[in-house]
Structure 1
Protein backbone atom coordinates (compact mmCIF):
# COMPACT_ATOMS: atom_id res chain seq x y z
CA UNK A 1 0.00 0.00 0.00
CA UNK A 2 1.71 3.17 -1.24
CA UNK A 3 0.94 6.28 0.85
CA UNK A 4 1.59 9.60 -0.89
CA UNK A 5 1.12 13.32 -0.31
CA UNK A 6 0.28 16.06 -2.76
CA UNK A 7 3.06 18.59 -3.39
CA UNK A 8 2.83 21.93 -5.20
CA UNK A 9 5.70 22.51 -7.60
CA UNK A 10 7.35 25.98 -7.42
CA UNK A 11 5.37 27.30 -10.41
CA UNK A 12 2.11 27.12 -8.42
CA UNK A 13 1.19 30.30 -6.56
CA UNK A 14 1.37 29.85 -2.79
CA UNK A 15 -2.11 30.10 -1.30
CA UNK A 16 -4.02 28.85 1.77
CA UNK A 17 -6.55 27.26 -0.60
CA UNK A 18 -3.96 24.99 -2.25
CA UNK A 19 -4.47 21.38 -1.17
CA UNK A 20 -0.78 20.54 -1.25
CA UNK A 21 2.51 20.78 0.64
CA UNK A 22 4.28 23.95 -0.51
CA UNK A 23 7.85 25.19 -0.67
CA UNK A 24 11.04 24.58 -2.63
CA UNK A 25 11.42 21.06 -4.01
CA UNK A 26 14.37 20.10 -1.81
CA UNK A 27 12.37 21.02 1.30
CA UNK A 28 9.01 19.49 0.35
CA UNK A 29 10.43 16.21 -0.90
CA UNK A 30 12.93 16.04 1.95
CA UNK A 31 10.34 16.61 4.67
CA UNK A 32 7.80 14.18 3.26
CA UNK A 33 10.53 11.57 2.88
CA UNK A 34 11.48 12.09 6.53
CA UNK A 35 7.87 11.59 7.59
CA UNK A 36 7.77 8.21 5.87
CA UNK A 37 5.70 8.85 2.78
CA UNK A 38 6.25 6.49 -0.13
CA UNK A 39 5.57 8.99 -2.87
CA UNK A 40 4.21 12.33 -4.00
CA UNK A 41 1.61 13.64 -6.40
CA UNK A 42 2.58 16.90 -8.06
CA UNK A 43 0.26 19.87 -8.39
CA UNK A 44 1.71 21.65 -11.42
CA UNK A 45 0.71 24.68 -13.46
CA UNK A 46 3.43 25.14 -16.09
CA UNK A 47 6.11 22.45 -16.50
CA UNK A 48 8.12 24.72 -18.82
CA UNK A 49 9.08 26.77 -15.75
CA UNK A 50 10.48 23.76 -13.91
CA UNK A 51 13.80 21.95 -13.95
CA UNK A 52 12.67 18.40 -14.63
CA UNK A 53 16.05 16.89 -13.77
CA UNK A 54 16.08 18.48 -10.31
CA UNK A 55 12.57 17.26 -9.54
CA UNK A 56 13.39 13.72 -10.60
CA UNK A 57 16.69 13.76 -8.73
CA UNK A 58 15.14 15.08 -5.50
CA UNK A 59 12.46 12.39 -5.64
CA UNK A 60 15.07 9.66 -6.07
CA UNK A 61 17.25 11.16 -3.32
CA UNK A 62 14.36 11.03 -0.85
CA UNK A 63 13.11 7.61 -2.02
CA UNK A 64 9.79 9.03 -3.21
CA UNK A 65 7.86 7.77 -6.21
CA UNK A 66 6.18 10.48 -8.28
CA UNK A 67 2.84 8.83 -8.95
CA UNK A 68 0.77 11.55 -10.60
CA UNK A 69 0.85 15.08 -11.99
CA UNK A 70 -2.37 17.06 -11.50
CA UNK A 71 -3.78 19.46 -14.07
CA UNK A 72 -6.25 21.29 -11.82
CA UNK A 73 -4.38 24.57 -11.55
CA UNK A 74 -4.61 25.09 -15.31
CA UNK A 75 -8.24 25.84 -14.57
CA UNK A 76 -7.78 27.03 -10.97
CA UNK A 77 -5.27 29.77 -11.77
CA UNK A 78 -5.81 30.39 -15.48
CA UNK A 79 -9.46 29.33 -16.08
CA UNK A 80 -8.58 27.19 -19.10
CA UNK A 81 -10.88 24.30 -19.90
CA UNK A 82 -11.90 21.86 -22.63
CA UNK A 83 -15.52 23.11 -22.65
CA UNK A 84 -14.96 26.84 -22.98
CA UNK A 85 -17.15 28.46 -25.63
CA UNK A 86 -14.02 30.04 -27.14
CA UNK A 87 -12.22 27.72 -29.59
CA UNK A 88 -8.80 29.26 -28.93
CA UNK A 89 -9.13 28.72 -25.18
CA UNK A 90 -10.21 25.11 -25.68
CA UNK A 91 -7.22 24.49 -27.95
CA UNK A 92 -4.83 26.16 -25.53
CA UNK A 93 -6.18 24.06 -22.66
CA UNK A 94 -5.37 20.91 -24.66
CA UNK A 95 -1.85 22.10 -25.41
CA UNK A 96 -1.19 22.88 -21.76
CA UNK A 97 -2.40 19.44 -20.69
CA UNK A 98 -0.15 17.86 -23.32
CA UNK A 99 2.80 19.70 -21.76
CA UNK A 100 1.90 18.11 -18.43
CA UNK A 101 1.66 14.72 -20.16
CA UNK A 102 5.22 15.24 -21.42
CA UNK A 103 6.31 16.09 -17.88
CA UNK A 104 4.55 13.05 -16.45
CA UNK A 105 6.10 10.81 -19.08
CA UNK A 106 9.57 11.99 -18.08
CA UNK A 107 8.77 11.22 -14.43
CA UNK A 108 7.02 7.90 -15.07
CA UNK A 109 3.74 9.21 -13.64
CA UNK A 110 0.03 9.40 -14.49
CA UNK A 111 -1.93 12.63 -14.92
CA UNK A 112 -5.43 13.40 -13.73
CA UNK A 113 -8.27 15.40 -15.24
CA UNK A 114 -10.24 17.42 -12.73
CA UNK A 115 -11.52 20.95 -13.21
CA UNK A 116 -9.70 21.50 -16.52
CA UNK A 117 -12.44 19.49 -18.22
CA UNK A 118 -14.76 22.48 -17.80
CA UNK A 119 -18.48 22.59 -17.21
CA UNK A 120 -21.82 23.20 -18.86
CA UNK A 121 -22.81 26.83 -19.50
CA UNK A 122 -26.05 28.56 -20.47
CA UNK A 123 -24.63 29.85 -23.76
CA UNK A 124 -24.15 26.37 -25.26
CA UNK A 125 -26.43 23.31 -25.52
CA UNK A 126 -25.25 20.51 -23.26
CA UNK A 127 -24.69 18.15 -26.17
CA UNK A 128 -22.30 20.68 -27.77
CA UNK A 129 -20.32 21.14 -24.56
CA UNK A 130 -20.22 17.39 -24.01
CA UNK A 131 -18.90 16.93 -27.53
CA UNK A 132 -16.12 19.45 -26.89
CA UNK A 133 -15.08 17.48 -23.80
CA UNK A 134 -15.14 14.08 -25.50
CA UNK A 135 -13.11 15.39 -28.44
CA UNK A 136 -10.52 16.78 -26.05
CA UNK A 137 -10.39 13.58 -24.00
CA UNK A 138 -9.86 11.51 -27.15
CA UNK A 139 -7.13 13.86 -28.34
CA UNK A 140 -5.15 13.90 -25.09
CA UNK A 141 -5.62 10.13 -24.63
CA UNK A 142 -4.10 9.40 -28.02
CA UNK A 143 -1.23 11.74 -27.20
CA UNK A 144 -0.77 10.20 -23.73
CA UNK A 145 -0.79 6.68 -25.13
CA UNK A 146 2.19 7.48 -27.34
CA UNK A 147 4.01 8.73 -24.24
CA UNK A 148 3.02 5.78 -22.06
CA UNK A 149 1.01 7.97 -19.68
CA UNK A 150 -2.35 6.97 -18.23
CA UNK A 151 -5.04 9.59 -17.61
CA UNK A 152 -7.30 9.41 -14.55
CA UNK A 153 -10.65 11.21 -14.86
CA UNK A 154 -11.90 12.46 -11.51
CA UNK A 155 -15.55 12.78 -10.54
CA UNK A 156 -15.98 16.07 -8.65
CA UNK A 157 -18.76 17.30 -6.38
CA UNK A 158 -21.56 19.48 -7.78
CA UNK A 159 -20.28 22.26 -5.48
CA UNK A 160 -17.26 22.65 -7.80
CA UNK A 161 -18.59 21.72 -11.24
CA UNK A 162 -21.80 20.66 -12.98
CA UNK A 163 -20.08 18.10 -15.23
CA UNK A 164 -19.11 14.57 -14.10
CA UNK A 165 -20.17 14.60 -10.47
CA UNK A 166 -20.59 10.87 -9.87
CA UNK A 167 -18.44 7.87 -10.66
CA UNK A 168 -21.22 6.50 -12.85
CA UNK A 169 -21.09 9.68 -14.95
CA UNK A 170 -17.31 9.34 -15.19
CA UNK A 171 -17.66 5.75 -16.40
CA UNK A 172 -20.01 6.86 -19.20
CA UNK A 173 -17.38 9.34 -20.37
CA UNK A 174 -14.63 6.71 -20.20
CA UNK A 175 -16.76 4.36 -22.30
CA UNK A 176 -17.46 7.13 -24.84
CA UNK A 177 -13.75 7.96 -25.13
CA UNK A 178 -12.88 4.26 -25.47
CA UNK A 179 -9.12 4.46 -25.01
CA UNK A 180 -7.12 2.10 -22.78
CA UNK A 181 -5.09 5.04 -21.43
CA UNK A 182 -8.19 6.92 -20.23
CA UNK A 183 -9.53 5.60 -16.91
CA UNK A 184 -10.92 7.05 -13.67
CA UNK A 185 -9.68 7.88 -10.22
CA UNK A 186 -11.69 7.93 -7.00
CA UNK A 187 -11.52 10.87 -4.62
CA UNK A 188 -13.01 9.86 -1.28
CA UNK A 189 -14.00 13.43 -0.38
CA UNK A 190 -16.08 13.75 -3.54
CA UNK A 191 -17.46 10.21 -3.27
CA UNK A 192 -18.64 10.93 0.26
CA UNK A 193 -20.75 13.82 -1.03
CA UNK A 194 -22.02 12.45 -4.34
CA UNK A 195 -22.35 8.68 -3.86
CA UNK A 196 -25.09 6.90 -1.94
CA UNK A 197 -22.63 4.28 -0.67
CA UNK A 198 -18.84 4.76 -0.87
CA UNK A 199 -18.02 1.09 -0.32
CA UNK A 200 -20.51 -0.16 -2.92
CA UNK A 201 -19.17 2.36 -5.44
CA UNK A 202 -15.57 1.26 -4.90
CA UNK A 203 -16.55 -2.36 -5.44
CA UNK A 204 -18.77 -1.74 -8.46
CA UNK A 205 -16.30 0.34 -10.48
CA UNK A 206 -12.96 -1.02 -9.27
CA UNK A 207 -11.88 -2.26 -12.70
CA UNK A 208 -11.86 1.32 -14.04
CA UNK A 209 -9.91 2.85 -11.15
CA UNK A 210 -6.18 3.67 -11.31
CA UNK A 211 -5.66 6.22 -8.51
CA UNK A 212 -7.14 7.30 -5.17
CA UNK A 213 -7.33 10.64 -3.34
CA UNK A 214 -7.86 10.58 0.42
CA UNK A 215 -9.39 13.30 2.60
CA UNK A 216 -11.75 13.22 5.54
CA UNK A 217 -15.31 14.41 5.12
CA UNK A 218 -14.29 17.98 6.02
CA UNK A 219 -11.42 17.91 3.46
CA UNK A 220 -8.86 17.79 6.24
CA UNK A 221 -6.33 15.06 6.92
CA UNK A 222 -7.58 11.46 7.22
CA UNK A 223 -8.51 10.77 10.84
CA UNK A 224 -9.49 14.36 11.57
CA UNK A 225 -13.22 13.77 11.32
CA UNK A 226 -15.66 10.94 10.64
CA UNK A 227 -14.77 8.70 7.67
CA UNK A 228 -13.85 5.06 8.31
CA UNK A 229 -10.57 4.87 6.43
CA UNK A 230 -9.79 1.36 7.59
CA UNK A 231 -12.97 0.12 5.94
CA UNK A 232 -12.31 2.20 2.82
CA UNK A 233 -8.70 1.12 2.34
CA UNK A 234 -9.51 -2.50 3.14
CA UNK A 235 -12.21 -2.44 0.44
CA UNK A 236 -9.75 -1.14 -2.13
CA UNK A 237 -7.34 -3.93 -1.23
CA UNK A 238 -10.09 -6.55 -1.47
CA UNK A 239 -10.99 -5.34 -4.98
CA UNK A 240 -7.38 -5.83 -6.08
CA UNK A 241 -6.36 -2.17 -6.20
CA UNK A 242 -2.57 -1.87 -5.88
CA UNK A 243 -2.02 1.76 -6.84
CA UNK A 244 -1.25 4.82 -4.76
CA UNK A 245 -3.32 6.48 -2.05
CA UNK A 246 -2.61 10.21 -2.02
CA UNK A 247 -3.87 12.80 0.44
CA UNK A 248 -5.42 15.87 -1.19
CA UNK A 249 -6.38 18.02 1.76
CA UNK A 250 -6.56 21.54 3.11
CA UNK A 251 -3.31 22.25 4.93
CA UNK A 252 -5.08 22.97 8.21
CA UNK A 253 -3.99 24.06 10.77
CA UNK A 254 -0.74 24.08 8.79
CA UNK A 255 0.96 21.75 6.31
CA UNK A 256 3.38 20.28 8.83
CA UNK A 257 0.61 19.25 11.22
CA UNK A 258 -1.58 17.96 8.40
CA UNK A 259 1.20 15.84 6.88
CA UNK A 260 2.25 14.38 10.25
CA UNK A 261 -1.29 13.48 11.31
CA UNK A 262 -2.23 12.02 7.92
CA UNK A 263 0.69 9.57 7.81
CA UNK A 264 0.24 8.73 11.50
CA UNK A 265 -3.39 7.74 10.97
CA UNK A 266 -2.86 5.93 7.68
CA UNK A 267 0.20 3.99 8.85
CA UNK A 268 -1.81 2.42 11.68
CA UNK A 269 -4.45 1.34 9.16
CA UNK A 270 -1.86 0.01 6.74
CA UNK A 271 -0.32 -2.11 9.50
CA UNK A 272 -3.74 -3.55 10.40
CA UNK A 273 -4.62 -4.37 6.81
CA UNK A 274 -1.23 -5.99 6.17
CA UNK A 275 -1.38 -8.22 9.27
Structure 2
Protein backbone atom coordinates (compact mmCIF):
# COMPACT_ATOMS: atom_id res chain seq x y z
CA UNK A 1 0.00 0.00 0.00
CA UNK A 2 1.06 3.55 -0.69
CA UNK A 3 1.38 5.98 2.21
CA UNK A 4 0.68 9.71 2.28
CA UNK A 5 0.34 12.30 5.02
CA UNK A 6 -1.77 15.42 5.46
CA UNK A 7 -0.38 18.87 4.76
CA UNK A 8 -2.30 22.12 5.23
CA UNK A 9 -1.78 24.63 2.43
CA UNK A 10 -2.57 27.52 4.80
CA UNK A 11 -2.67 28.26 8.54
CA UNK A 12 -5.53 26.41 10.24
CA UNK A 13 -7.02 25.75 13.68
CA UNK A 14 -7.49 22.02 13.03
CA UNK A 15 -4.90 20.19 15.10
CA UNK A 16 -4.84 16.76 13.43
CA UNK A 17 -2.75 17.90 10.48
CA UNK A 18 0.89 16.92 10.79
CA UNK A 19 2.39 19.63 8.60
CA UNK A 20 1.59 23.34 8.38
CA UNK A 21 3.67 26.36 7.49
CA UNK A 22 6.34 26.52 4.79
CA UNK A 23 4.79 24.59 1.90
CA UNK A 24 7.93 23.93 -0.12
CA UNK A 25 9.95 22.88 2.92
CA UNK A 26 7.20 20.58 4.15
CA UNK A 27 6.71 18.86 0.80
CA UNK A 28 10.43 18.16 0.59
CA UNK A 29 10.43 16.88 4.17
CA UNK A 30 7.53 14.54 3.37
CA UNK A 31 9.50 13.23 0.39
CA UNK A 32 12.64 12.76 2.44
CA UNK A 33 10.73 10.78 5.07
CA UNK A 34 9.79 8.26 2.41
CA UNK A 35 6.12 9.01 1.81
CA UNK A 36 4.57 8.21 -1.56
CA UNK A 37 2.09 11.07 -1.51
CA UNK A 38 0.86 14.21 0.18
CA UNK A 39 -2.79 14.79 1.02
CA UNK A 40 -3.66 18.49 0.85
CA UNK A 41 -6.01 20.29 3.23
CA UNK A 42 -7.28 23.25 1.23
CA UNK A 43 -9.65 25.86 2.62
CA UNK A 44 -10.20 27.69 -0.67
CA UNK A 45 -8.63 26.64 -4.00
CA UNK A 46 -8.76 30.27 -5.18
CA UNK A 47 -6.31 31.25 -2.43
CA UNK A 48 -3.47 28.89 -3.40
CA UNK A 49 -1.04 28.66 -6.29
CA UNK A 50 -2.32 25.38 -7.66
CA UNK A 51 0.29 25.01 -10.41
CA UNK A 52 3.16 25.68 -8.01
CA UNK A 53 1.91 23.08 -5.53
CA UNK A 54 1.38 20.47 -8.21
CA UNK A 55 4.82 21.18 -9.68
CA UNK A 56 6.43 20.84 -6.24
CA UNK A 57 4.73 17.50 -5.70
CA UNK A 58 5.75 16.22 -9.12
CA UNK A 59 9.36 17.37 -8.64
CA UNK A 60 9.47 15.48 -5.35
CA UNK A 61 7.91 12.37 -6.86
CA UNK A 62 4.80 12.65 -4.68
CA UNK A 63 1.22 11.91 -5.68
CA UNK A 64 -1.70 14.00 -4.38
CA UNK A 65 -4.27 11.30 -3.62
CA UNK A 66 -6.85 13.43 -1.81
CA UNK A 67 -8.00 16.95 -1.00
CA UNK A 68 -9.50 17.73 2.41
CA UNK A 69 -12.18 20.43 2.56
CA UNK A 70 -12.92 20.68 6.29
CA UNK A 71 -11.20 24.02 6.81
CA UNK A 72 -14.07 25.74 4.98
CA UNK A 73 -16.18 24.68 7.95
CA UNK A 74 -13.58 25.20 10.65
CA UNK A 75 -12.33 28.58 9.47
CA UNK A 76 -15.37 30.04 7.70
CA UNK A 77 -18.40 28.16 9.01
CA UNK A 78 -19.56 26.93 5.62
CA UNK A 79 -21.67 23.79 5.70
CA UNK A 80 -24.30 21.77 3.89
CA UNK A 81 -26.62 21.91 6.92
CA UNK A 82 -26.54 25.56 7.90
CA UNK A 83 -30.04 27.01 8.51
CA UNK A 84 -29.13 29.87 6.15
CA UNK A 85 -29.72 28.80 2.55
CA UNK A 86 -27.04 31.21 1.29
CA UNK A 87 -24.42 29.55 3.51
CA UNK A 88 -25.46 26.13 2.21
CA UNK A 89 -25.11 27.40 -1.36
CA UNK A 90 -21.66 28.80 -0.57
CA UNK A 91 -20.60 25.42 0.84
CA UNK A 92 -21.70 23.71 -2.36
CA UNK A 93 -19.94 26.30 -4.52
CA UNK A 94 -16.76 25.87 -2.48
CA UNK A 95 -16.91 22.11 -3.06
CA UNK A 96 -17.41 22.61 -6.79
CA UNK A 97 -14.38 24.92 -6.88
CA UNK A 98 -12.16 21.99 -5.79
CA UNK A 99 -13.06 19.89 -8.84
CA UNK A 100 -10.64 21.38 -11.43
CA UNK A 101 -7.58 20.96 -9.18
CA UNK A 102 -8.72 17.51 -8.07
CA UNK A 103 -8.98 16.53 -11.73
CA UNK A 104 -5.44 17.80 -12.40
CA UNK A 105 -4.06 15.85 -9.44
CA UNK A 106 -6.15 12.73 -9.83
CA UNK A 107 -7.32 13.36 -6.25
CA UNK A 108 -10.41 12.35 -4.33
CA UNK A 109 -12.35 15.22 -2.72
CA UNK A 110 -13.07 14.50 0.95
CA UNK A 111 -16.26 15.77 2.56
CA UNK A 112 -16.25 15.39 6.32
CA UNK A 113 -16.73 18.45 8.52
CA UNK A 114 -18.17 20.39 5.59
CA UNK A 115 -21.48 18.63 6.29
CA UNK A 116 -21.63 20.95 9.31
CA UNK A 117 -23.24 20.65 12.71
CA UNK A 118 -26.89 21.59 12.46
CA UNK A 119 -28.54 23.35 15.42
CA UNK A 120 -31.23 21.75 17.60
CA UNK A 121 -33.83 23.92 15.89
CA UNK A 122 -33.31 21.91 12.68
CA UNK A 123 -34.88 18.46 12.43
CA UNK A 124 -32.47 15.61 11.68
CA UNK A 125 -34.48 14.62 8.61
CA UNK A 126 -34.22 18.16 7.24
CA UNK A 127 -30.44 18.23 7.73
CA UNK A 128 -30.05 14.88 5.97
CA UNK A 129 -32.22 16.15 3.11
CA UNK A 130 -29.98 19.23 2.71
CA UNK A 131 -26.89 17.02 2.82
CA UNK A 132 -28.30 14.67 0.22
CA UNK A 133 -29.12 17.57 -2.09
CA UNK A 134 -25.61 19.01 -1.70
CA UNK A 135 -23.88 15.70 -2.38
CA UNK A 136 -26.10 15.06 -5.40
CA UNK A 137 -25.15 18.42 -6.94
CA UNK A 138 -21.45 18.01 -6.21
CA UNK A 139 -21.26 14.40 -7.39
CA UNK A 140 -23.04 15.24 -10.65
CA UNK A 141 -20.54 18.03 -11.35
CA UNK A 142 -17.54 15.94 -10.29
CA UNK A 143 -18.58 13.02 -12.50
CA UNK A 144 -18.11 15.20 -15.60
CA UNK A 145 -14.42 15.51 -14.65
CA UNK A 146 -14.07 11.86 -13.55
CA UNK A 147 -13.50 13.05 -9.96
CA UNK A 148 -14.58 10.95 -6.98
CA UNK A 149 -15.97 12.28 -3.71
CA UNK A 150 -15.39 10.52 -0.38
CA UNK A 151 -17.83 10.97 2.49
CA UNK A 152 -16.26 10.64 5.95
CA UNK A 153 -18.15 9.26 8.96
CA UNK A 154 -17.02 11.34 11.96
CA UNK A 155 -17.44 10.53 15.63
CA UNK A 156 -20.36 11.77 17.72
CA UNK A 157 -18.21 14.18 19.76
CA UNK A 158 -17.38 16.25 16.67
CA UNK A 159 -20.55 16.18 14.54
CA UNK A 160 -24.20 15.31 15.15
CA UNK A 161 -24.99 13.06 12.18
CA UNK A 162 -23.77 9.99 10.27
CA UNK A 163 -21.10 8.68 12.62
CA UNK A 164 -20.67 5.05 11.61
CA UNK A 165 -19.75 3.09 8.51
CA UNK A 166 -23.21 1.54 8.38
CA UNK A 167 -24.88 4.96 8.53
CA UNK A 168 -22.47 6.28 5.92
CA UNK A 169 -23.18 3.44 3.54
CA UNK A 170 -26.93 3.96 3.86
CA UNK A 171 -26.51 7.67 3.15
CA UNK A 172 -24.32 6.99 0.09
CA UNK A 173 -26.93 4.55 -1.18
CA UNK A 174 -29.63 7.21 -0.80
CA UNK A 175 -27.61 9.68 -2.90
CA UNK A 176 -27.17 7.06 -5.61
CA UNK A 177 -24.02 8.47 -7.24
CA UNK A 178 -21.43 5.97 -8.46
CA UNK A 179 -18.61 8.45 -7.82
CA UNK A 180 -19.53 8.81 -4.13
CA UNK A 181 -17.71 6.53 -1.73
CA UNK A 182 -16.25 6.67 1.74
CA UNK A 183 -13.21 7.86 3.59
CA UNK A 184 -12.63 5.68 6.63
CA UNK A 185 -10.58 7.07 9.52
CA UNK A 186 -9.23 4.75 12.20
CA UNK A 187 -9.50 7.40 14.94
CA UNK A 188 -13.22 7.89 14.36
CA UNK A 189 -13.77 4.17 13.83
CA UNK A 190 -12.18 3.39 17.19
CA UNK A 191 -14.94 5.47 18.81
CA UNK A 192 -17.93 4.46 16.69
CA UNK A 193 -17.41 0.94 15.32
CA UNK A 194 -18.06 -2.17 17.46
CA UNK A 195 -15.40 -3.93 15.36
CA UNK A 196 -13.12 -1.88 13.11
CA UNK A 197 -12.11 -4.81 10.91
CA UNK A 198 -15.69 -5.93 10.30
CA UNK A 199 -16.71 -2.37 9.42
CA UNK A 200 -13.86 -2.09 6.91
CA UNK A 201 -14.98 -5.30 5.26
CA UNK A 202 -18.58 -4.05 5.26
CA UNK A 203 -17.52 -0.88 3.42
CA UNK A 204 -15.68 -3.01 0.86
CA UNK A 205 -15.37 -1.44 -2.57
CA UNK A 206 -17.02 1.78 -1.38
CA UNK A 207 -13.76 2.77 0.33
CA UNK A 208 -12.30 5.58 -1.77
CA UNK A 209 -9.66 6.78 0.72
CA UNK A 210 -8.30 5.82 4.14
CA UNK A 211 -6.95 7.83 7.10
CA UNK A 212 -4.73 6.39 9.80
CA UNK A 213 -4.24 7.67 13.33
CA UNK A 214 -3.93 5.72 16.54
CA UNK A 215 -6.52 5.60 19.32
CA UNK A 216 -5.13 8.80 20.88
CA UNK A 217 -4.99 10.55 17.47
CA UNK A 218 -1.22 10.36 17.42
CA UNK A 219 0.94 8.41 14.95
CA UNK A 220 0.47 4.62 14.58
CA UNK A 221 2.15 2.77 17.41
CA UNK A 222 1.48 5.53 19.95
CA UNK A 223 -1.86 4.06 21.03
CA UNK A 224 -3.60 0.71 21.26
CA UNK A 225 -5.00 0.07 17.75
CA UNK A 226 -4.02 -3.17 16.04
CA UNK A 227 -2.85 -1.80 12.69
CA UNK A 228 -1.66 -5.20 11.51
CA UNK A 229 -5.22 -6.51 11.71
CA UNK A 230 -6.73 -3.27 10.40
CA UNK A 231 -4.52 -3.19 7.33
CA UNK A 232 -5.10 -6.89 6.64
CA UNK A 233 -8.84 -6.19 6.62
CA UNK A 234 -8.37 -3.20 4.31
CA UNK A 235 -6.21 -5.27 1.96
CA UNK A 236 -8.84 -8.03 1.89
CA UNK A 237 -11.38 -5.61 0.37
CA UNK A 238 -9.19 -5.16 -2.71
CA UNK A 239 -8.36 -1.57 -1.79
CA UNK A 240 -5.32 -0.35 -3.74
CA UNK A 241 -5.34 3.35 -2.87
CA UNK A 242 -3.39 5.37 -0.33
CA UNK A 243 -3.47 5.19 3.43
CA UNK A 244 -2.97 8.74 4.64
CA UNK A 245 -1.80 10.02 8.01
CA UNK A 246 -4.19 12.48 9.62
CA UNK A 247 -2.83 12.54 13.12
CA UNK A 248 -1.74 15.17 15.60
CA UNK A 249 1.92 16.20 15.26
CA UNK A 250 2.57 15.81 19.00
CA UNK A 251 5.54 18.03 19.92
CA UNK A 252 7.43 17.51 16.65
CA UNK A 253 5.62 17.05 13.33
CA UNK A 254 8.60 15.59 11.48
CA UNK A 255 9.47 13.13 14.23
CA UNK A 256 5.84 12.01 14.60
CA UNK A 257 5.52 11.46 10.86
CA UNK A 258 8.78 9.52 10.83
CA UNK A 259 7.69 7.28 13.70
CA UNK A 260 4.37 6.66 11.98
CA UNK A 261 5.72 5.71 8.58
CA UNK A 262 8.50 3.57 10.07
CA UNK A 263 5.91 1.70 12.14
CA UNK A 264 3.73 1.07 9.08
CA UNK A 265 6.66 0.07 6.87
CA UNK A 266 7.60 -2.42 9.55
CA UNK A 267 4.13 -3.94 9.40
CA UNK A 268 4.32 -4.15 5.60
CA UNK A 269 7.67 -5.93 5.86
CA UNK A 270 6.04 -8.58 8.05
Distance in structure 2 (CA, Å) of the matches to 1:16 and 1:82: 19
The size of the alignment, in residue pairs, is 270
Distance in structure 2 (CA, Å) of the matches to 1:270 and 1:14: 32
Q: 1:35 aligns with which of 30, 33, 36?
A: 33
Distance in structure 2 (CA, Å) of the matches to 1:130 and 1:226: 34
Specify the SS of the correspondent of 2:98.
helix
Q: 1:256 aligns with which of 234, 244, 254?
A: 254
Q: 2:98 aligns with which of 69, 93, 100?
A: 100
Q: Is the 8 A contact 2:69 2:112 kept in 1?
A: yes
Task: Give the superposition deviation at 1:16.
Answer: 7.2
**1:208-223 equivalent positions in 2, closer than 5 A:** 208-223=206-221
Specify the SS of the correspondent of 2:87.
helix
Q: 1:112 aligns with which of 110, 113, 135?
A: 110
Q: 1:64 aligns with which of 56, 62, 65?
A: 62
**1:90-239 equivalent positions in 2, closer than 5 A:** 90-239=88-237
CA, structure 1 residues 142+32, in 2 after alignment: closer, same or farther (shift >3 Å)?
same
Comparing 114-123 with 258-267, which one deviates more in the overlay? 114-123
Encode CA deviations 1:164-212: one digit per residue, 9 max, x unaligned.
Answer: 1001111111001001111111101101100000011111221211110
Does 2:28 match 1:20?
A: no
1:3 is matched with 3
- Taking only aligned residues, the RMSD between alpha carbons, in angstroms, comes to 1.2
Q: Is the 8 A contact 2:13 2:75 kept in 1?
A: no
Q: Is the 8 A contact 2:81 2:115 kept in 1?
A: yes
Give the TM-score of the pair, scaled to structure 1: 0.95
Task: Give the superposition deviation at 1:120.
Answer: 3.5
Task: Give the superposition deviation at 1:18.
Answer: 4.6
Q: Is the 8 A contact 2:153 2:162 kept in 1?
A: yes
Distance in structure 1 (CA, Å) of the matches to 2:13 and 2:83: 29
Distance in structure 1 (CA, Å) of the matches to 2:123 and 2:45: 34
Give the TM-score of the pair, scaled to structure 2: 0.97
Specify the SS of the correspondent of 1:75.
helix
2:269 is matched with 271
CA, structure 1 residues 174+219, in 2 after alignment: closer, same or farther (shift >3 Å)?
same
5+ residue gaps, structure 2: none
5+ residue gaps, structure 1: none
Distance in structure 1 (CA, Å) of the matches to 2:80 and 2:14: 27
Distance in structure 1 (CA, Å) of the matches to 2:3 and 2:239: 13
